[in-house]
Amino acid sequence: MIDVNGLTKTYGAHRAVDDVSLTARPGRVTGFLGPNGAGKSTTMRMMVGLTPPTSGTARICGAAYADLPNPPREVGVLLDASAQHAGRTGREILTLAAMTAGLPRSRATAMLDLVSLTDEEADRRVRNYSLGMRQRLGIAVALVGEPEVLVLDEPANGLDPAGIRWMRDLLRGFAADGGTVLLSSHLLHEIEVIADDLVVIGRGRIVAEGTKASLLERAGTVVAPAETSDAAALVRACTAAGLAVTRQGDGSLRVEADGPVVGRLAHQVGVPLAQLQPAGGTGLEEMFLQLTADTQRETPATTAATTTEGRAA
Ligand SMILES: Nc1ncnc2c1ncn2[C@@H]1O[C@H](COP(=O)(O)OP(=O)(O)OP(=O)(O)O)[C@@H](O)[C@H]1O
* CB-CB contact of 170 with 140 (8 Å): no
CATH level 2 (architecture), domain 218-308: 2-Layer Sandwich (3.30)
**Ligand 1: which residue has its CA nearest to atom 5?**
11
Flag whether pLDDT at 140 surpasses 80. yes
- State how far the Cα of 16 lies from the Cα of 38, in Å rounded to an integer: 7
Regarding the beta carbon of 34 and ligand 1, being less than 6 Å apart is answered yes
pTM value > 0.90: no
With CA atoms as reference, report the closest residue to 312 among 205, 202, 207, 222.
207
Q: Is the CB of 157 under 6 A from ligand 1?
A: no
CA–centroid distance, residue 204 to ligand 1 (Å): 9
Residue 113 pLDDT grade (very low, low, confident, very high; cuts 50, 70, 90): very high
Angle between helices 131-143 and 161-176 (to 10 degrees): 10
pLDDT tier for residue 271 given thresholds of 50, 70 and 90: very high
**Model confidence at 187, in pLDDT bands (50, 70, 90)?**
confident
pLDDT tens across 195-247, in order? 999 999 988 999 889 998 777 766 678 889 888 888 899 999 999 988 888 88
Nearest ligand 1 atom to alpha carbon 43? 18
Give the integer Cα–Cα distance in Å for 84 and 78: 11
Fold of the 2-215 domain: Rossmann fold (3.40.50)
Determine the average pLDDT of the residues in 304-310.
38
- Domain map (residue ranges) of the chain: 2-215, 218-308
Residue 279's pLDDT band (cuts 50, 70, 90): confident
Ligand 1 pocket test, pick from 7, 10, 11 with the greatest ligand atom count within 8 Å of Cβ, gives 11
* 39 pocket-lining for ligand 1 (C-beta < 6 Å): yes
CA proximity to 60, closest of 145, 6, 1: 1
Half-sphere exposure of 143 (CA within 13 A, CB side): 24
